[in-house]
Chain A
Amino acid sequence: MHDDEAQVILKRDAALIHTILKGNGERYDDIVERYQTGLYRTAYYYTQNVEDARDLTQDIFIKAYNNLAGFKQDSAFSTWLYRIAINHCLDWCRKKKPQYVEAAYLNNLSTEDDSPEDLFLQQEIAYEVQAAVSSLPAIYSTVLILYYFEDFSPQQIADITDTPKRTVETRLFRGRKMLRDKLHPTPSGGEGHAMLSESGQLAQLR
């Protein structure tokens, strides 16, 4: 994300929050609209099912609204919101282990040029990756989700997770290696594993 774009978002968020704190609670739906896709996706990476992801997303937004007066405008709102989200998701993981894993054959935003086969392949890969990421220890899956899927920088991840930036960089290196090991083809093979072979897209995770 360019610095100019980030500045515009920062100012727009600050103005919205100022309006809400002045008593215009209806404007909170703009905040929800802006961040619900990212938060829902993040929650899904932790929960692996849509019902829990939906419930978690709702809880996160409600919690954020109720604590909005405590938001210090010296940091980005997205960082503050994701801090609440990650803590909430980690709490959820500690209290309630997923009973089942649900494939994410939902609304994959692919281009209209994609053939059905390409679409299917993309969904298969996405499912493999999401399952592999969520099976990692939380400290690694968190940094991978925030860096690769939510486009946060290591410094922003450090702010969100309240961890030194150096630790975040180390966890990114280790997390990527662990993810590569999870996705690496096994000798027993099988169709699903063939997609993760050296010629496949995920072979880039070497």
Chain B
Amino acid sequence: MPCYRSRDNWHSYVKKSLSETELDEMTSHLDHCSECHDVVSVIQETVCSLTKSRVDFLPPTAIKINIMMAIDKNRYVENSPSANSSQFFALKNWGLSMIAAGLLLFALNLTSLTPNFKAGQMDELHMELNKQITIPFDKMSQVANDALGKIESLIRSKHK
């Protein structure tokens, strides 16, 4: 009489990679089911014969040398906390601030908000506004650049 038990777990059973309850239950099933017993025997015999026929190569020593030469050993150094703090000051972070400042300047130059001005008055106003706006930004930029320079030189001296 054929056994209708699922064959899904017999390879796991042979490797003993099931819970203790499952292993016990399957072991007791094997005691009275010759069909499943044969299945397990065949798997076990195959494991034995293929393990014997397995070719165990010794990998060439060059493999390790080549790998260690190819990888960037400092790849994960930047993940350390000290390196993360220096990322905060990276120049790319300042790029967004500069874009925001540019957008602000552009918005202030919109003429559509002042339709009643004559052309000459508009130019004068633009010049005056530009002067007033660029002065503080120039100063801010200068101060920021100085600060960045000092921070980077500090970081470099720390790394040395």
A and B pair up: yes
Which A residues are within 8 Å of any B CB, using their own CB? 20-23, 25-26, 28-29, 32-33, 36-37, 40-41, 44, 50, 53-54, 57-58, 61-62, 65-66, 68-69, 104, 106-109, 122-123, 125-130, 144, 147-149, 151, 153-156, 165-166, 168-170, 172-173, 176, 201-202, 204-206
Docked CA distance A26–B79 (Å): 16
For residue B10, which residue of chain A has the nearest CB?
Answer: A169
Contact B8 A166 (CB under 8 A): yes
Q: A156-B17, A204-B45 are in contact. List 12 more A-B contacts (CB 8 A).
A: A23-B79, A28-B73, A36-B63, A37-B56, A37-B59, A44-B55, A109-B56, A127-B55, A148-B47, A155-B12, A169-B10, A176-B43
B58 interface neighbour in A37, A57, A125, Cβ under 8 Å: A37
Question: Which secondary structure dominates chain B's binding surface?
Answer: helix
**CA gap between A156 and B15 in the complex, in Å:** 11
Binds A, one of B64-72, B95-103, B130-138, B149-157: B64-72
State the CA gap A205–B53 with chains docked (Å): 12
B106 at the A interface (CB under 8 A): no
Q: Is the CB of A169 within 8 A of B58?
A: no
User: Which residues of chain A are within 8 angstroms of B71 by Cβ–Cβ distance?
Assistant: 25, 28, 62, 65-66
How many angstroms from the CA of A41 to the CA of B58 in the assembled complex?
9
Known contacts A21-B76, A169-B7: A61-B56 contact under CB 8 Å: no
Tell me the total A-B contact number using a CB cutoff of 8 A. 155
User: In the complex where A107-B58, A169-B7 touch, is A29 in contact with B17 (Cβ < 8 A)?
Assistant: no
Rounded to whole Å, the gap between the CB of B115 and the closest CB of chain A is 56
Which of A36, A104, A107 has the most C-beta atoms of chain B within 10 angstroms of its own C-beta? A36
Establish whether residues A23 and B42, one from each chain, have CB atoms under 8 Å apart when the complex forms.
Answer: no
A126 and B17 form a contact (CB under 8 A): no
A204/B73 in contact, CB under 8 A: no
Partner of B57 from A107, A127, A169 at Cβ < 8 Å? A107
Contact of B17 among A26, A41, A153, A206 (CB under 8 A): A153
Between A and B, 15 residue pairs with Cβ closer than 8 Å are A28-B73, A32-B67, A33-B64, A37-B59, A106-B55, A144-B50, A149-B50, A153-B15, A165-B8, A169-B9, A172-B11, A176-B43, A205-B45, A205-B46, A206-B45
Does B160 count as interface, using CB distance less than 8 angstroms? no
Question: Given the interface contacts A25-B74, A129-B53, does A54 sit within 8 Å of B10 by beta carbon?
Answer: no
Per-residue CB contact flags for chain B residues 35-58 toward chain A (1 = under 8 Å, else 0) read 000000011011111111111111
- Find out whether the CB atom of B76 lies under 8 angstroms from the CB atom of A22: yes
Q: Which residue of A lies closest to B66 (CB)?
A: A58
**CB–CB B49/A201 < 8 A:** yes
Task: Say yes or no: B76 contacts A68, CB within 8 Å.
Answer: yes
Q: Which of A36, A127, A169, A205 contacts B49 (CB 8 A)?
A: A205
Q: Contact between A169 and B8 (Cβ–Cβ < 8 Å)?
A: yes
A interface footprint on B109-131 (CB within 8 Å = 1, 0 otherwise): 00000000000000000000000
